[in-house]
Structure formats: structure tokens, C-alpha cells
Amino acid sequence: MNIYLRKRRWKLGLSIIAVLIIGCSLWYTNMLVRRFAENERTNVTIWANAIQNNARLVSYADEFFENIKIEEEKRAELLAETYKRIANDNGSKDLTFYVDIIRKNTTIPVILTTADDRIINYVNVEEFKDSIPKVLRGNLKDQFTEYKPIIVNYSPTDQHKLYYKESLIFTELRNVLDDLIESFFSEVVTNSVSVPVIITDQSQQQVYAFGNLDSLKMQDGEFVTRKIQNMRFDNKPIEIQLPDDRLAYIFYTDSLLLTQIQFFPYVQFAVIGIFFFIAYLMFSTARKSEQNQVWVGMSKETAHQLGTPLSSMLAWVELLKMKDIDQEAVKEIEKDLKRLEVITERFSKIGSPAVLDDLNIVEVLYESLDYIKRRTSKKIIYNINLNRDDNILVPLNINLFSWVIENICKNAIDAMNGEGSISVEIRNREGFVNIDITDSGKGIAKANFKTVFNPGYTSKKRGWGLGLSLAKRIINEYHNGKIFVKSSTLNQGTTFRIVLKKSL
């Protein structure tokens, strides 16, 4: 089996295995991500239910405190009525009941004043008992005017005011409620199972609290709006009932850890792919450098090995000329020796900078085909589309370039089994010239269009597979041109195209 066919099959097999490994890894990773996501969403659901329960507890506590407030207002009104009855009593009734009501008030702060706010009596005003003023004014009045004072009419001309405020117990309970609401928000944002969370008001514009988000970015209004929209798209916001019939909404999204896990396999394979790509480039460069050294070493050694016997043969030809030998045969031997000199020079130039001269590409092609024509079957027909006197100057190394033409034509002759046609079409373009060499041979499979230029590739049983590889090296590296298979049809023929820059 051809080495490049085996190589192609190995590449295909390894590619399939790599795809299977990547596919299995992605499938397994995605399965873990799905499980992790389901577990996270379960935790979020449990957390959301706990939030709802806490919200109901806060709402219930607020309702309970409101009832206490109403009860205290009723008690204050009862005290006012008690003072009024005591003031209006003329001694006909037993005042023990009313006195007990006043005496048993140990929670509601009460101040009794005249109509012009002069203090007559006070109860449960502990913070002012050592320095109670004579007139209700300033900070003390501000505290006791939260609720409208109760007017106590002792007589049509004697009017008193009963000021009161919420009890110390109610104040403490209200502080507890505020702390409860604050701790509720704190609990939401700190115990949100590591998911980013934002709590907003009913309009979904004002942010009450947030957690697992960058505090600096949360100061940017546009970022907050965009974040809330993204969270609303990911998950339906949770509605909670706050005290005073206020609504709040909790927005949340997947945690950063889950997002990182979702993209981790793709990042991992990208890094691995980049690593292998760089490694491939390095090994490919090293391999090409090694091949170049082999090419140069083999060519130089071949030229060296040919040089010694060639010099000896040239001396023998000079001796034969002086002998009584058929001079025509000697001339033919001399031609072949000159050809060997050309071949030796070709090998010696491999690996060395090529000297390019401005030459007529048409004339060079005619000379190359003439040489091949004299040494091949007369059943091969050669055609060139331009006349020999046409002139297109191209920088060429004639020995190396004619070697390319010979290799392409020899491969074409082998593909035609010594019978067919070889056509050379020269197209003069602006700045460059195209040379199409077409044969009527058995063709090349499309999959092998690039492989035919690899060293060692051959369809012949005894071929070395170096002709086209040398041709590509000469055109690409020494002439800065291109050579490729333009088209090919099995059992109909192949067209090689050479692209060269024209002389300036």
C-alpha cells in the first residue's frame, strides 16, 4: 500500500477517534453540568420557599404589631376617659375603679397638660422624670405629638390635654420588626446558595439589597437594569409580601461556578487544540528542515559521485576523437556526456541560491520539448499554442526549469503508456505567466491532487516518486512560483499549471 494512502487512512482514523473522545467528554461533562444545575435549582427552590415563609412571618409580625398599636390607642382613650370621669366626679361615686385603671398603666407614657400645654401630671416618662419641664415643648413635645392629643373637659371653661405615645414595649417590638425586616433582606442575599441575587421594590427599579455581585458595578444604573433583565430572562422573579402591603421581587440567575463548569470543557479543548496546533507547527517545521537537509545532502552527494567518472569519460572521448573511430558515434557520446554535465549541475544547485536570468519562456519550452521529443516514441504528439518567435521574458534558471518540464512530461508519457498527446498552453497575463501542460493519460484522482507532489508518492511499481516533488521545490523555492494540478479526469488526462512572475 502507498505510504501516503496509509498516512491518509491513519489521519482519518485518528481524527475519528479524537472526535469520539471529544464527543464523549463533552457528553459526560454536560451530563455532570445538568446534574449540578438541577441540584442548584433544587437548592434555589428550597431557598425561595424559605424566603416566602420568612416573608409571611414578617408580614404576620407587622400585622400583629399593628393590632398592638390599635389596642394601645384604645387604652390611651380609656385613660383619657378615666381622667375625665375623675375630674367630673363630685364625690358621689367610688373612684377606686378609676384610680386602679390609672395606677395599672405601667407601659403607655402619658402627660396631662392644661390647654396651654403646662404639665400637670405624667406617667411612665422615665427618661424625663428627673428633669421634667414645666411646659410641654421642644423634643419632648415632638415625641408626644405623634398621635393627636385627647381633649379632657373638666368643665366648659377648664380644658386639659392628654398626650401619649407608643409604649416602651411597642417601641421595642417595632425595633424588633425593623431588625427582622433588615435581617430578612440580609438572609436573602447571604444565604442564596451562592447565586447572584437582587431584591427590588414593586416597580422593579429600586434595589433593596443584592448578593454575589460586584458592588462597584451595582452602582451603575445601566448595569443594574441590564442585569435585572437578564435575570428575568433566566428565571421567573419571586414575589414576596412585605409589611404595609408592600411588594418586593427577588431576581436570581445561575451561579458563577455553574457557568464556569458549563464553559470549562470548551475552554479546555480549545487550550489543548492550541497546544497541539503549536506542537504540530514546531514538529512540521523540524521535519521540513530535516527533509531539506536530506534533499541537499543527497543532491550534493549525487553530483559529487557523478563528477569523478564524468571527468574521466570526457578524457576518454578526447582520446577517441584521435583514433580512427566513427566520429558520428563519438559526437553522440559527447552529447550524452554534456547531458550528464547538465544533470550534475542540476544536482549541485539543489540547496544553493539559484541564479535567475531573464529568458524567453517560449524558447525554453520549445528546447525542452525538442530534447524530450528526440528521446521518446513517435506516437507521442507535442503541441505548443504559441509560435517559437514569440517573446515572454521570465526570470529562470534554465537548467532547473527544464528539469521541471522533463519530469512532468516523463510522468505524462508513463501515464499514456507511450501513446497520446502532450499540449503546452502559455497564457500571458499582467505581471505573470501561466503554463498549462496537458496530457491524455489515465488521470489522477482528486484526492491525490496534492499528494502527487509528496516525496515517495508514485503510481509506478518501480518509481521513486521524486520527480514532481523536485519540480515543486524548484518552482516554489527557486523561482517563487506555483505548481499544482489544475484539473484531471480519470482515463482522460491531467493538466498541470505552472505560475511564474514575469521580468520587470
223-241 as b/e, with b when 16 or more CB fall inside 10 Å? ebeebbeebeeebebbebe
CA distance 292 to 286: 10
Neighbours of 62 (CB within 10 A): 20
Q: Tell me the DSSP string of 382-404.
A: EEESS-TT---EEEE-HHHHHHH
Q: Phi and psi at residue 426, in whole multiples of 5°?
A: -105, 125
- The confidence score (pLDDT) of residue 395 equals 93
Strand 432-439, strand 493-501: pairing: antiparallel
* Reported pTM: 0.48
- The confidence score (pLDDT) of residue 500 equals 95
- Topology of 354-501 in CATH? Heat Shock Protein 90 (3.30.565)
- The confidence score (pLDDT) of residue 25 equals 79
All residues at 6 or more sequence positions from 415 whose CB lies less than 8 Å from its CB, including other chains: 439, 441, 442, 443, 459, 494
CA distance 371 to 200: 91
Query: SS3 for 117?
Result: coil
CA distance 483 to 493: 17
- Could you list the pLDDT tens digit for every one of the 504 residues in the chain? 455 567 677 778 878 887 888 788 778 877 877 787 777 667 666 666 666 677 677 677 777 777 777 777 777 677 667 766 666 665 555 555 555 666 666 677 877 788 887 877 777 776 666 666 777 777 777 777 777 777 777 666 677 777 777 776 667 777 776 676 666 666 655 655 567 888 888 888 888 878 778 888 888 888 988 898 988 888 888 887 766 667 888 888 877 676 777 777 777 778 777 888 887 888 777 777 766 666 666 666 676 667 667 777 777 777 777 777 777 777 777 777 777 777 776 666 666 667 888 999 999 999 989 888 888 888 899 999 888 888 999 999 888 898 899 889 988 988 888 889 999 999 998 889 999 999 998 998 888 888 888 776 666 655 556 778 888 988 988 889 999 999 999 888 999 999 999 987
Asked whether 14 and 276 are in contact (CB, 8 A), the reply is no
User: Crossing angle, helix 96-103 and helix 3-88, to 10 degrees?
Assistant: 150
Asked whether 78 and 98 are in contact (CB, 8 A), the reply is no
CA distance 96 to 86: 10
CA distances from 199 to 153, 206, 239, 241 (A): 52, 9, 10, 12
Residue in the structure block whose three cell numbers are 501516503: 4
Structural domain boundaries of the chain? 354-501
CA distance 172 to 145: 19
Q: Is 413 left (phi over 0), alpha (psi -120 to 50) or beta?
A: alpha
Residue in the structure block whose three cell numbers are 480549545: 270
User: Crossing angle, helix 256-322 and helix 327-349, to 10 degrees?
Assistant: 150
- The confidence score (pLDDT) of residue 1 equals 42
- The confidence score (pLDDT) of residue 488 equals 92
Query: SS3 for 16?
Result: helix
All residues at 6 or more sequence positions from 379 whose CB lies less than 8 Å from its CB, including other chains: 418, 419, 420
